[in-house]
Amino acid sequence: MNAKVLLVVLGFAALAYALPGSSEERSFESFESGEAKYDFNWAVRDESSENDFGHQETRDGENTQGSYYVHLPDGRLQTVKYFVDGD
């Protein structure tokens, strides 16, 4: 019986701690950077497996643009270009 009471008390204590505002106020910081600036690219070209693909991206502040590409087995080049400015 005492074990059941102890489990109930511990359960209520855990619940009270988990509720916002019931104990110390929890705050979360945002680690977003407003002025990111970078430029990168990478590529894979392996003759033995015939893999040929890559990615390129550039960012300056809130403006981002880039592309992915892959050479398909039938010889075509598939490319995806994207851009983001702001949101």
Instruction: Kindly state whether residue 60 falls inside one of the protein's structural domains.
Output: yes
Q: Cα 65–82–32 angle (5° rounding)?
A: 55
Q: Amino acid identity, residue 9?
A: V
pLDDT of residue 52: 94
Q: Is residue 54 classed as helix, strand or coil in its secondary structure? A: strand
Each residue's pLDDT tens digit, 8-61: 666 666 666 666 654 455 666 766 655 889 999 999 999 998 899 999 999 998
pTM of the predicted protein model: 0.55
Instruction: Kindly state whether residue 54 falls inside one of the protein's structural domains.
Output: yes
Q: How far apart are CA 87 and CA 41, in angstroms?
A: 23
| Segments forming the whole domain that contains residue 62 | 35-87
Instruction: Kindly state whether residue 48 falls inside one of the protein's structural domains.
Output: yes
CB 79 within 8 A of CB 56: no
